[in-house]
Structure 1
Amino acid sequence: MAAFTTSEDNMAEKFSHLNERGEASMVDVGAKPDQQREAKASGKIFLQPKTLELIKSNSIEKGDIFSVARIAGIQAAKNTFNLIPLCHQLQLTKIAVDFSVEDDGIRVLSLAKCTGKTGVEMEALTAVNVALLTIYDMCKAVDKQMTMGEIKLVEKHKK
């Protein structure tokens, strides 16, 4: 508790998910207006050249990497509120998960949209993370050196 010795007003400015006692608390967005919101995120899984060739030729034993990872990412975004304790349940209007094959791996890009009172950053980031984990799972038998990284929010907008 010693870390929370600042005034209530300063604490609220720094951490919106903390109540006046410094405890985790879900933000009340009830008074906020509905707005069109959009967020984009990206991340990368680094793969061995042999693994990339197997993916490109659709020769991974578990099946089509891109189709499975896309569906996993979409499903994860829809369930973000179940995974992240203080996230609000959103009425998503669009989730897209796309892939870019690069020389040393695969970049995952996501787009999340909704009309609501709070942003969709967590949904976009969750889509990327679970899509990356799905690729990892599907390739772990052939690549023991995979790493994931560069996961970030690329942009967000509201209108």
Structure 2
Amino acid sequence: MAGAGKTPELTHFRDGLPRMVDVSGKASTLRTATAEGWVRLPPEARAALEAGTNPKGDPLTVARLAGLAGSKRTADLVLLCHPIPVTGADVQVTLEEEGVHVVATVRTTAPTGVEMEALTAVTVASLNVYDMLKAASKAIEVTGIRLLAKTGGKSGDYRAPGV
């Protein structure tokens, strides 16, 4: 960590220019990350989902598939993220009292973590719920996207407060 009054060294910028951090010297180890998000549904969107009358089909199944695909495409969307092999992914999309709850767990054996892949999976799944239900209501809200936990890597394990 930089001392008081010193500018911290930027890992993704050098000489004012963006760069991808070189992880070739880091060991490939098992790393996992779990993230969550919520899709808040106004009454008309919830009613369409519960009744199975949504004209586009089943939003929860589409969202789950979209989340899985999103986890594998993270490096295409997050500019300085390393493309890594996603060795496993699980995306759960469930209707709860508060709305649609999306939880994604992603695994890899790579020299860098999978937090961004888990967060991307949740985000893409949530956006697909919105897309599938937007004919019922434009007032749907995607919210609460956060990292719940991660394992592995130099920074060690992490668990969000209250998890």
Q: Using structure 1 for the length normalisation, give the TM-score.
A: 0.87
Aligned to 1:125: 119
Match of 1:65 among 45, 59, 66: 59
Q: Which has the larger helix fraction?
A: 1
Aligned to 2:12: 17
Question: Does the CA-based 8 Å contact 1:48-1:104 persist in structure 2?
Answer: no
Alignment of 1:12-51 (within 5 A): 15-19=10-14, 21-51=15-45
Aligned amino acid, residue 32 of structure 2: E
Aligned to 2:73: 79
% identical aligned pairs: 38
The one-character-per-residue Cα deviations of 1:27-53 (angstroms, maximum 9, x if unpaired) are 100000011000000111110123223
Match status 1:89 vs 2:75: no
Aligned amino acid, residue 118 of structure 1: T
Gaps of 5+ in 2: 154-163
What RMSD, in angstroms, separates the aligned Cα atoms of the two structures?
1.6
1:61 aligned counterpart, secondary structure: coil
Aligned residue pairs, count: 149
Aligned amino acid, residue 65 of structure 1: P
Aligned amino acid, residue 125 of structure 2: A
1:110 aligned counterpart, secondary structure: strand
